[in-house]
A and B are shown apart, each in its own frame.
Chain A
């Protein structure tokens, strides 16, 4: 297809513009990539993040995301205080929190906690959010495949364990 010169010029100019902006954005995102992460993983808290192995300092505000370790949840029956440990591939970080946890919070579940480091491996959280995965399935299938008992967030006793909601 023969293109007239003006059209060719416009094509070059347009592609050049898009390529230029794409390169600029890639460079910016690459430079900021560690800041775009929503949270530190427990291993990054303990071993340091990125190639400079930057460790969070005590007193620093940050978010930690990981799996709630099985049998690590301890609740104070008198108050809304709760403590649990989160992990990703080994190291564990302890999270202290006072308040109502989201419906999906349970052992083995992914969570994101925001708060202040009060010791190198202990965080006092001000907010705990639950993550979930993209594996949607009916309860029978989940029981079959994963051995997970159905916990209906609308009716289960999960609220009672967590100190009530609404």
Chain B
């Protein structure tokens, strides 16, 4: 396995590999998310109780789902970075964390906007909402630690430890609505059960989820490429890529 993986531990290879994948991920995101959103927002039927207000689910649920799965990938990157000390796993922290933070913020924001007309409140300190807010703080903490040290490796180490420890929050978010009495309703989508949602709403939702997956992948790939360039600024291969002295190139 190591022999097969080894070439991919070179920043230059990863930079070019991501460069080849990036257009596909971007195209997939634009196309699938476009279809999903138009389908969900314009063509899916209104809900019997909530009318058109429920349509915010087509943004709320995908962003909330990926705010958690992106965190898991962040923790895995941190784990690899810590145990195997691969520098690119460290750099991945900087690539992944901002995307997850934005997804978390979107989930919180759309949740508040949805909560006001339906529940009657923007915010309630219930277990689901509070644990999701903690997730946002974890992302921000990871980012702050990453950039807090003049030595990049020390920053990545500190950020990685927080990222790994914070993964405990993920099952808490996931099961908060089952373990405790909450204002937030139960999960819409679960792996093993048929969702309690009409198919005419479920299919556009699944399309949006797939679209958000491509969007997250595209954003993370782009950020990873930028981070690789930032770290490798003075290497000859970067100068070759841009065909000029790298120091005047990307940083500015």
Residues of A within 8 A of B (CB): 1, 7, 10-11, 14, 17-18, 21-22, 25, 29, 33, 36-39, 41, 65, 101-104, 112, 127-143, 148, 150-154
Contacts and interface: CB of A to CB of B under 8 A. Distances in A.
Contact of B48 (A41, A112, A137): A137
A29 B85 CA distance: 33
A3 B200 CA distance: 52
A14 B47 contact: no
Given A10-B83, A65-B181, A154 B48 contact: no
B203 interface: no
Given A130-B118, A134-B187, A136-B197, A18 B164 contact: yes
A7 B79 CA distance: 12
Main secondary structure on B side of the interface with A: loop
Interface size class of B (residues with CB under 8 A): 35 or more
Interface string B41-82: 000011111111110010000000000000000000001001
B50 A132 contact: yes
Contacts of B172: 25, 29
A131 B185 contact: yes
A38 B120 contact: no
Listed residue (A10, A21, A103, A137) with the most chain B CB atoms within 10 angstroms of its CB: A137
B204 to A, nearest CB: 11
A65 B126 CA distance: 12
Given A129-B120, A133-B186, A153-B117, 5 more contacts: A132-B118, A138-B198, A139-B45, A141-B198, A152-B51
Contacts of B188: 134, 136
Contact of A17 (B164, B185, B187, B198): B164
A119 B173 CA distance: 36
